[in-house]
Amino acid sequence: MRVGIVCPYSFDAPGGVQFHVRDLAEALLAQGHHVSVLAPADDDTPVPDYFVSAGSAVPVRYNGSVARVAFGPRIAGRVRRWLEAGRFDVLHLHEAVNPSVSMVALWIAQGPIVATFHTSIVRSRALQVAYPLVRQSLEKIGARIAVSEDARRTLVEHMGGDAVVIPNGVYVDTFAGAAPDARWQGSAEAPTIAFLGRLDEPRKGLPVLTAAIPRILEQVPGARFLVAGRGDDGREEAIAALGEHAASVEFLGGVSDEEKASLLASVDLYVAPQTGGESFGIVLVEAMSAGACVVASDLGAFRRVVDDGAAGALFPVGDGAALARTVLDLLADRARRDEYRARAAEFVRRFDWSSVTAEILAVYETVLAASEAVIPVHEDPRANRGRRLGRVRVPRGAGADEDVRA
């Protein structure tokens, strides 16, 4: 199968959606499918062979974070050329209703289209503004996927329709087999507690953790906190808030995939104090796969990932004192930590890419079966009889359209 995947966010500063797209592409390639990914990226950004750049991106604040997206007439030209060269059986768009390369691809493309929705937000003015721009184009989408119930609810409330829920994937065995690093391992007297996330995004919850750290150190003075993630402003604010307790915190900066897996395999606890805007919680699944005991804020998305508290401990959102109490209780109870880890090792299997890829391929097959074969323009119909191909409709100003082979 020839699959074209469009990612709206730049690979210059990859995040959850970019990692999902990358891992899906590689899972499909491993099964013998042809895959091409179109996404923004600067010319000097290292990208895999299956990647095609949609051009440079600009930062836009969205959903409590900063998204780097590409949009505009020049991007449309790149989308057209990519579609024409790709001859895809299925086009898979991510966040197709955000003003981005994904929205441009939705406007232009014809044929079997699948769209995955990642965003979880109670009310979004951006989505309300975008809806009129894509209302008619949404009818082109043959199947919708949401990465969680929270993302599905956001889609239904803002765009109507519905979606099948297929979670984000994780290479569970990669994290389960990660080797611990002695630098990050703890002991009974000096346990290690990890946090990963953008330090300058308040919704990632670093201020909640910094509020909990002094309370934890009162009872466990040897505890070490390993904070991984980019964002110099957030780092400086955290150091200022911690005062004398900052000596117990090691800021690791950005870490590679291998370092992240090793870190999660090394620590006694992984803390996820996010305050909102999370549609899934991929790093929780990674931590659980690596064998870390997870402590997470009681967001709906996180609750589902930790099996309603059976595979990890939950605390009230934004409550630093409650986080401290939860951490201290777990540090004092090795048997309970082991119970969480055992349940997590079993529960994360449903998020392994082997299962997730099979579900996504089933959606592709359903959309293909429901679509009619389209014979591209400029080719002999007799030579393509029975072949399912896509085509793109290229707008010429505000008037007539021209069909071109994709």
pLDDT in tens, 256-295: 999 999 999 999 999 999 998 888 889 999 999 999 999 9
Looking at residue 279, its pLDDT comes to 81
Looking at residue 330, its pLDDT comes to 98
212, HSE (Cβ side, Cα atoms, 13 Å): 29
Beta carbons of 192 and 198 less than 8 angstroms apart:
no
Q: Which residue has the higher pLDDT, 318 or 279?
A: 318
Looking at residue 42, its pLDDT comes to 85
Check pLDDT > 50 for residue 210.
yes
Check pLDDT > 90 for residue 55.
no
Check pLDDT > 80 for residue 54.
yes
What is the H or E stretch that residue 193 is in?
Answer: strand 192-196
Tell me, what DSSP letter sits at residue 142? S
Measured CA to CA, the distance from residue 323 to residue 329 in angstroms comes to: 10
Measured CA to CA, the distance from residue 19 to residue 325 in angstroms comes to: 33
Return the minimum-mean-pLDDT range out of 114-123, 179-188, 326-335. Answer: 114-123
Check pLDDT > 70 for residue 402.
no
Give the mean model confidence (pLDDT) for residues 55-63: 59
Q: Which residue has the tokens 């777990």?
A: 330
Return the minimum-mean-pLDDT range out of 100-114, 285-299, 306-320, 332-346. Answer: 100-114
Looking at residue 346, its pLDDT comes to 97
Give the mean model confidence (pLDDT) for residues 251-258: 94
Share of the chain above pLDDT 70, in %: 84
Structure tokens at 224: 């070490």
In the sheet that holds 293-297, the strands lie side by side as 249-253, 224-228, 192-196, 269-272, 293-297, 313-315
Beta carbons of 304 and 195 less than 8 angstroms apart:
no
Q: Angle at which helices 320-331 and 206-219 pack, to 10 degrees?
A: 50
Looking at residue 129, its pLDDT comes to 58
Return the minimum-mean-pLDDT range out of 10-14, 18-22, 111-115, 284-288. Answer: 10-14
Residue 340 CA: distances (Å) to CA of 292, 308, 315, 335:
9, 12, 15, 9
Measured CA to CA, the distance from residue 291 to residue 225 in angstroms comes to: 17
How big is the CA angle at 191 (ends 187 and 193), to the nearest 5 degrees? 145
Confidence of residue 344 (pLDDT cuts 50, 70, 90): very high
- Domains in the chain and their CATH numbers? 2-169+352-405 (3.40.50.2000), 172-351 (3.40.50.2000)
Looking at residue 381, its pLDDT comes to 38
Looking at residue 395, its pLDDT comes to 37
